[in-house]
């Protein structure tokens, strides 16, 4: 659901959305081969998974993305069942382009391409950045792809298909009518420099520093506050009044990065408050309001006293300050990011689930000396709070995620009641690391060969694992408190009586051929052509294809890396589970509509997020699986209606024999509640035999 709305927003602005990473890039360790922390491996890791788990869990977001019209999808670095994602014909051609009906282009992650012809025939449409290794100037494609088309290894229809898919996405978002000249450079912030940055050619104006922020600051502040989750609020300790006599702020996470908010390349450090993880997908902060600044502004405006102590390790000073304070606000964090950056020995993935920088000990030290301690956590995911969450002096706990540039103002809005918290946890806080049932692979397990990551847990991740093994979490998936209270009543389930499911049948049209390969002489570099160093061109050096390739194995023996049937452009049988964007269109038929009444029984206006869960009834199904939610703003003593549609896909399982979806004979139950463990209402989904069991 979230990916679909993001795609619509991006592409409505005239930008091609790129959904990634396809697929099973579930850890950063060993996503690429080579010498790296943990061991030297020859190839990237392989995520090994069964057909049911692939379809019932990991493929869903990509089906939603395709249905939403994403223009591009990026294939990942890792292998899947020991075949690289960017040249896995089954996943790219059969599943993504066939079963899910994806009409856009597949692009590689940067340097995730491992072969030329094989990747082209397996469905890759665009290689990024073009060369096989950064700044090498050598490419699996470029001239090699031209040669492959000229000698017939890559059919003309396949190269036409690549071009059509790329240009289709360009037209889809309106680039033909909404084109804006490039006014910035990706590689430097300098105003003047080389347009061809690596080649050092074309000096001139490269960054115009156009301010495009508009009202973004206010939106970021509101969004950050709306995503904040209140986990504990003993005796209504929150919201604060702003008139507390002495407010003490603790933790490096409350203050500035001493190097500045952008002092670490790609945010690759954990200094100061954590507002963004690290990696190549980050952006520079125009500014970063720290929690100390946001809170101090409120306290000082009310004539109070405030002091900040941002050394996590000086327990003596912490204790002394805590004993003086009326309220103690302790900030701690846990960071993570992309695997090419290592922070404090964390290679992209976190080494553990504890708070960083002595955070847990600081929290317990402050709480031991202050009977009104509020803990605020900025973390990339779940952390272990087992040692201190029940401390009697810890009156409030907040998870604030990664809030962005307005971090300090957003947390102040929550702490002082300008906004009522309505966020819900997107993961479970467990009591022990082992409660989660599965872990990352931190050390190679196949010698120097590709590490093998076995997805033996099936679809049972996060709350589904806790439910399956009856493990009690500290704070469950979907949990979150408010400064008011809500009740649920009047469950209503409407059955729409939709006809039976029918597999897609028939044949596709043959692959269209839009041109002819021509002859080699037309593909030779034009006379006098200036080649920018390290750029990748489609031209070849001579009409002798063998000589132009420079490959000593050119034309020798059968090409075992050519995917089966990938050179066949004839009409093909349609895939039963396919037929439209996101799969068979009947998967999205609305079978039921579930409604209930949500009432605010408190004294202030607040947001609630009612959640719909479904039990499919089978022995291998989750106890409950989230199938819908909404955010409702409700005034005191008022009510609102929560409504969620249940589609055929929502109550279907994957059958490996028929390679299609089916609805099992087990009874189905719908639940509505405020979290995965607080389900106030339930009712049967009466599925008739007409639905194609």
Kindly write down the DSSP assignment for every residue of 108-134, as one continuous string: E-TT----SHHHHHTT--B-SSSSSST
Please spell the DSSP secondary structure of 524-554, one letter per residue: BPPTTPPPPTT---S-BS-S-HHHHHT-TTT
Query: Is the CB of residue 582 less than 8 Å from the CB of residue 66?
Result: yes
Query: Is the CB of residue 355 less than 8 Å from the CB of residue 388?
Result: no
Catalytic, out of 51, 64, 109, 621: 109
Q: Is pLDDT at 692 greater than 90 in this prediction?
A: no
379-401 in b/e form (b: 16+ CB < 10 A) is: bbebbbbeebbebebbbbbbbbb
Structure tokens at 539: 């031209």
In angstroms, the CA 131 to CA 603 distance is 62
In angstroms, the CA 362 to CA 378 distance is 15
Q: Is pLDDT at 453 greater than 90 in this prediction?
A: yes
pLDDT band, residue 518 (cuts 50/70/90): confident
In angstroms, the CA 29 to CA 36 distance is 9
pLDDT band, residue 133 (cuts 50/70/90): confident
- pLDDT per residue as tens digits for the range 436-450: 999 999 999 989 999
Query: Is the CB of residue 147 less than 8 Å from the CB of residue 549?
Result: yes
In angstroms, the CA 172 to CA 71 distance is 8
- pLDDT per residue as tens digits for the range 632-663: 999 999 999 999 999 999 999 999 999 999 99
Rg over alpha carbons for the chain, rounded to the nearest Å, is 28
Secondary structure of residue 52 in the 3-state scheme: helix
- 109 in catalytic set: yes
Of 173-187, 315-329, 376-390, minimum mean pLDDT range = 173-187
Phi, psi at residue 78, to the nearest 5°? -75, 170
Q: How many percent of the chain have pLDDT more than 70?
A: 98
Task: Please give the CATH number for the structural domain made up of 487-503+578-691.
Answer: 2.60.40.10
Give Cα separations from 60 to 20, 322, 556, 649 (angstroms).
Answer: 13, 48, 42, 10
* pLDDT computed for residue 693 by the predictor: 42
The 10 Å Cβ neighbour count of residue 484 is 19
* pLDDT computed for residue 559 by the predictor: 56
- Paired strand residues for 36: 39
Q: Give the mean pLDDT of 232-261.
A: 97
Give Cα separations from 460 to 262, 403, 435, 464 (angstroms).
Answer: 38, 29, 12, 5
In angstroms, the CA 521 to CA 571 distance is 32
Q: Is pLDDT at 691 greater than 70 in this prediction?
A: no
Query: Is the CB of residue 122 less than 8 Å from the CB of residue 111?
Result: no
Give Cα separations from 255 to 111, 251, 271, 274, 277 (angstroms).
Answer: 37, 7, 9, 9, 16
Give residue for tokens 């408050």.
273
Q: How many percent of the chain have pLDDT more than 90?
A: 91
Domain topology for 228-421? Rossmann fold (3.40.50)
**Sign of the torsion angle spanned by Cα atoms 75, 81, 84, 88:** negative
Q: Is pLDDT at 22 greater than 50 in this prediction?
A: yes
* pLDDT computed for residue 689 by the predictor: 42
Q: Is pLDDT at 390 greater than 80 in this prediction?
A: yes
- Paired strand residues for 683: 670
**Domain spanning 2-23+59-180+512-549, CATH architecture:** Alpha-Beta Barrel (3.20)
Q: Give the mean pLDDT of 611-618.
A: 97
pLDDT band, residue 552 (cuts 50/70/90): confident
The region that residue 148 occupies, defined by phi over 0 for left and psi between -120 and 50 for alpha, beta otherwise, is alpha
* pLDDT computed for residue 335 by the predictor: 98
Q: Is pLDDT at 556 greater than 80 in this prediction?
A: no
In angstroms, the CA 417 to CA 124 distance is 51
- Report domain extents, the chain: 2-23+59-180+512-549, 181-209, 228-421, 487-503+578-691
Give Cα separations from 129 to 118, 162, 168, 391, 532 (angstroms).
Answer: 18, 16, 21, 52, 15
Residues near 583 by Cβ (< 8 Å), separated by ≥ 6?
Answer: 63, 99, 100, 101, 577, 649, 661
């Amino acid at each position: 659901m979230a990916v679909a709305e993001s795609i619509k927003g991006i592409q409505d602005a005239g930008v091609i959305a790129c959904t990634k990473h396809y697929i099973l890039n579930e850890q950063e360790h060993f996503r690429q081969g080579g010498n790296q922390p943990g061991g030297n491996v020859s190839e990237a890791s392989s995520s090994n998974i069964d057909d049911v788990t692939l379809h019932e869990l990991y493929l869903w977001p990509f089906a939603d993305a395709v249905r939403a019209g994403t223009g591009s999808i990026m294939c990942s670095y890792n292998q899947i069942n020991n075949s690289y994602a960017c040249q896995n014909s089954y996943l790219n051609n059969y599943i993504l382009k066939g079963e899910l009906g994806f009409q856009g282009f597949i692009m590689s992650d940067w340097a995730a391409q491992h072969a030329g012809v094989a990747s082209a025939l397996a469905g890759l449409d665009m290689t990024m950045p073009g060369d096989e290794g950064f700044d090498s100037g050598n490419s699996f494609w470029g001239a090699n792809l031209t040669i492959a088309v000229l000698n017939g290894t890559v059919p003309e229809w396949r190269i036409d298909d690549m071009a059509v898919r790329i240009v289709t996405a360009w037209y889809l978002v309106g680039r033909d009518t909404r084109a804006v000249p490039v006014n910035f450079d990706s590689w430097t912030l300098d105003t003047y420099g080389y347009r061809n940055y690596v080649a050092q050619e074309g000096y001139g104006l490269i960054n115009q520093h156009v301010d495009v922020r508009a009202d973004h600051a206010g939106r970021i502040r509101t969004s950050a506050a709306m995503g904040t989750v209140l986990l504990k609020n003993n005796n209504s300790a929150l919201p604060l009044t702003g008139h507390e006599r002495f407010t003490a702020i603790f933790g490096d996470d409350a203050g500035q990065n001493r190097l500045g908010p952008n002092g670490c390349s790609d945010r690759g450090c954990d200094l100061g408050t954590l507002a963004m993880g690290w990696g190549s997908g980050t952006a520079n902060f125009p500014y970063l309001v720290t929690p100390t600044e946001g809170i101090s502004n409120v306290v000082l405006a009310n004539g109070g006293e405030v002091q900040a102590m941002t050394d996590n390790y000086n327990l003596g000073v912490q204790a002394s300050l805590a004993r003086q304070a009326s309220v103690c606000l302790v900030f701690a964090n846990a960071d993570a990011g992309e695997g090419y950056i290592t922070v404090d020995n964390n290679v992209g993935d976190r080494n553990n689930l504890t708070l960083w920088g002595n955070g847990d000990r600081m929290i317990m030290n402050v709480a031991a000396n202050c009977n009104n301690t509020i803990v605020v956590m900025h973390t990339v995911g779940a952390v272990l709070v087992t040692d201190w969450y029940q401390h009697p002096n810890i009156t409030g706990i907040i998870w604030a995620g990664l809030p962005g540039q307005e971090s300090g103002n957003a947390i102040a809005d929550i702490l002082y009641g300008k906004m009522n918290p309505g966020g819900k946890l997107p993961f479970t806080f467990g009591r022990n690391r082992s409660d989660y049932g599965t872990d990352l692979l931190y050390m190679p397990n196949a010698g120097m060969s590709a590490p093998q990551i076995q997805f033996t847990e099936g679809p049972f991740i996060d709350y589904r694992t806790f439910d399956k093994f009856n493990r009690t979490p500290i704070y469950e998936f979907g949990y979150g408190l408010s400064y008011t209270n809500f009740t649920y009543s009047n469950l209503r389930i409407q059955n729409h009586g939709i006809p039976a499911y029918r597999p897609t049948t028939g044949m596709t049209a043959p692959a269209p051929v839009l041109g002819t390969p021509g002859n080699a002489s037309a593909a030779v570099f034009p006379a006098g052509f200036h080649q920018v160093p390290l750029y990748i061109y489609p031209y070849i050096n001579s009409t002798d294809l063998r000589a132009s390739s420079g490959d000593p194995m050119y034309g020798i023996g059968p090409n075992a890396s050519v995917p089966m049937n990938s050179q066949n452009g004839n009409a093909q049988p349609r895939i039963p589970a396919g037929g439209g964007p996101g799969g068979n269109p009947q998967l999205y038929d609305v079978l039921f509509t579930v409604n209930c009444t949500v009432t605010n029984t408190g004294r202030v206006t607040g947001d609630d997020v009612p959640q719909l869960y479904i039990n499919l009834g089978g022995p291998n199904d989750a106890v409950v699986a989230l199938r819908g939610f909404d955010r409702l703003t409700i005034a005191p003593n008022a009510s609102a209606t929560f409504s969620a549609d249940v589609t055929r896909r929502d109550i279907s399982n994957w059958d490996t024999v028929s390679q299609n979806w089916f609805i099992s004979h087990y009874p189905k139950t719908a639940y509505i509640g405020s979290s995965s463990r607080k389900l106030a209402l339930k009712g049967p989904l009466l599925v008739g035999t007409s639905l194609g069991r």
